[in-house]
Copies of this chain bind each other. A is one copy, B any other.
Amino acid sequence: MRIVLDAMGSDHAPGVDVEGGVRAARRFGQEIVLVGREEEVQRELAKHDVTGLPLSIVHASQIIEMAEHPSQAVRNKPDSSMVVGMRLVREGKADAFVSAGNSGGVLATALASAGRLGRIKGILRPAISSVVPTLQGFSFMLDIGANTDCKPEWLVQFALMGAVYARKVLGVERPRVALLANGEEDTKGSAAVQQAHQTLRQLSLNFVGNAEGKDLTKGIADVIVSDGFAGNVAIKTAEGVASTIFSLVRSEIKARPLAMLGGLLVKPALRAVAKKLDYREYGGGPLLGVNGVVIIAHGRSDALAMENAVRVAIEAVNGHVVDTIRQDLEDAVTVLASMSPDGKSILSDHQASEEAS
């Protein structure tokens, strides 16, 4: 297997990206192709003992920056590490692409003609995903930012894709799927969520209904489906609240001499909690719905996070996620069509008009 790693992606590129690639090559034994400015990548590689490791470099002179407008950047930078790297996957020269860069850029590259992987047949919109730590372990959440205003059928497809990923990669036999909403009752939610809710009830998914924000970290579902607006707000709120609480705990402990002594004693416990909440342990989330394995890592990734993002890519390739999504979507379209009076399902109808547009 060959995994392409965007060496210029993270906030601290290329240092942590290259180091993550080196660690991944050592740990997993799969070939890592580092894409970026060759000289800079070489300089970083020289800092590590890479003897005998399956590492190679493909040169790309340009970089899509965090603040750039995604689709413009992709158009203007055909020799960027994202476009060059993704093209290796498209041309069958590699099995997966991993980047900690501008996530909109990764999405745009996957869909733009330059590095075009395109969408899986029938998929209306790809979704960005992430793991959410919970009391029991973790849930898998999508979309967290690719699509702000979602149609009901997009949400239904996110549910299908998330269930495939949970089954094939996370090892959950019959994943519980929930819709993020502003109330548990079926009647709660935006218009799109309410409609998606009705359709999800008709499919063979293990759909458990709506989940509220307060359930997000309770582990009540394996897959949490959301539009990219509320999903992004939820996941970033969770991140922000966790960091705020740790800040508050630190300053309240510092304000009390006895608590400072206690603080030393509870430090290992607090560290264990912080580790559970640490995105670096999860590496990255797949961009689901595109015709290939693409993993988006956190921009603030360090080498450990990058190493884990490569692990996620390997697992997604081994799990045949792309083929399974294609198959499950076909099955769902058939089920919905068989139940509909005119023999059409909302998934296939909109799909047709979408492909035509």
Residues of A within 8 A of B (CB): 67, 69, 134-135, 145, 148-149, 180-183, 185, 187, 189-191, 193, 212-218, 226, 228-230, 232-245, 247-249, 252-253, 255-256, 258-259, 261-270, 272-273, 276-277
Contact = CB atoms under 8 A, between A and B. Distances in A.
Contacts of A258: 265
Contact of A213 (B187, B191, B235): B235
A108 to B, nearest CB: 14
Given A217-B244, A234-B237, A252-B269, 12 more contacts: A135-B244, A148-B182, A149-B190, A182-B236, A213-B233, A213-B239, A234-B234, A241-B242, A249-B269, A249-B270, A252-B272, A253-B266
A237 B193 CA distance: 18
A233 B180 contact: yes
Contacts of A135: 244, 247-248
Contact of A266 (B69, B244, B266): B266
A74 to B, nearest CB: 16
Of the candidates A180, A240, A242, the one having the most CB atoms from chain B within 10 angstroms of its own CB is A240
A267 B242 CA distance: 19
A182 B227 CA distance: 11
A268 B259 contact: yes
Nearest to A184: B67
A273 B249 contact: yes
A215 B239 CA distance: 10
A269 B253 contact: yes
A262 B212 CA distance: 34
A240 B215 contact: yes
Contacts of A67: 185
Contacts of A253: 266, 269
Nearest to A215: B240
Contacts of A242: 241, 245
A242 B226 CA distance: 21
Across the A-B interface, the 5 shortest Cβ-Cβ residue pairs: A262-B265, A213-B236, A213-B237, A214-B240, A182-B232
Contact of A269 (B226, B236, B247, B256): B256
A69 B186 CA distance: 12
B262 A236 contact: no
A274 to B, nearest CB: 9
A136 to B, nearest CB: 10
A187 to B, nearest CB: 7
A239 B214 contact: yes
A191 to B, nearest CB: 5
A238 B241 contact: yes
9 contacts: A180-B233, A214-B237, A216-B241, A229-B230, A234-B234, A234-B237, A259-B266, A259-B268, A263-B266
